[in-house]
């Protein structure tokens, strides 16, 4: 399982042709306490770099962009019920959706962990 990162602070962890998507620890810390999450319905088609979910903290509301094009196969209802999970474990239990990738080639444009950490340090 390999994890990739976007410059919009999403992560995608790919297993076969399905990727689990969430926001990074860096993003969760920047957002502050998350108080509301809106996820796409299962079965919905999402497009790379288009908004897919909404996350709201006490500071701001932000769009979460799909890191890849594909179809949503699962949505994490736990974070809708308990948004605090996004802050507690953003890169684990606080995942947002699972996406069945339409084009595995889209992963090549994303960052690996080291590149993403360097990117965050430059922010």
Partner 1 sequence: MTMNSTGRPTSISPVDGAGTLTTVTGSKGLLQAEGLIFEIGSTDKTGVDLAMPKGIKSRLGGVTRGAPTGLPGLTEPEAVRHYVRLSQRNYAIDLGLFPLGSCTMKHNPRLNEKVARLPGFADVHPMQPQSTVQGALEVIEELADWLRKLTNMPAVAMSPKAGAHGELAGMLAIRAALIARGEGETRKRVLVPVSAHGTNPATAVQCGFIIDEINAAPDGRVDLEDLKSKLVDSSDVAGIMLTNPNTCGLFERDIRTIADLIHAAGGYFYCDGANFNAIVGRVRPGDLGIDAMHINLHKTFSTPHGGGGPGSGPTVLSEALAPYAPVPFIVKTAEGLRFVEHHSEAPDSFGRMCAFHGQMGMFTRALAYILSHGADGLRQVAEDAVLNANYILARLKPLMSPAFEGYCMHEALFSDGFLKDTGVETIDIAKGLIDEGYHPMTMYFPLVVHGAMLIEPTETESKAELDRFCDALASIARRAVQKDPSLKTAPHLAPARRLDETRAARSPRLKWTPEAPTLKAAE
Which residues of this protein are in contact with partner 1, per CB under 8 A?
33, 35-36, 56, 58-60, 83-84
SS3 content of the chain, % helix, strand, coil (to 5): 25, 40, 35
Could you tell me if 55 and 86 are in contact, meaning their C-beta atoms sit under 8 angstroms apart? yes
Q: Which residue, 19, 20, 5, 18, is CA-closest to 93?
A: 20
Q: What are phi and psi of 18, to 5 degrees?
A: -115, 130
Q: What are phi and psi of 94, to 5 degrees?
A: -95, 25
Query: CA angle at residue 113 from 19 to 101, to 5 degrees?
Result: 15
């Amino acid at each position: 399982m390999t994890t990739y990162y976007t410059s919009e602070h999403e992560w995608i962890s790919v297993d076969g042709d399905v990727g689990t998507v969430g926001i990074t620890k860096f993003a969760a810390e920047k957002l502050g306490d998350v108080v509301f999450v809106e996820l796409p319905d299962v079965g919905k088609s999402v497009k790379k770099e288009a908004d897919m979910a909404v996350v709201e903290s006490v500071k701001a509301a932000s769009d979460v962009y799909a890191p890849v094009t594909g179809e949503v196969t699962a949505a994490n209802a736990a974070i809708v019920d308990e948004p605090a999970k996004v802050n507690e474990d953003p890169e684990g239990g606080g995942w947002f959706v699972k996406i069945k990738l339409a084009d595995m080639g889209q992963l090549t444009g994303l960052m690996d962990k080291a590149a993403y950490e360097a990117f965050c340090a430059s922010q």
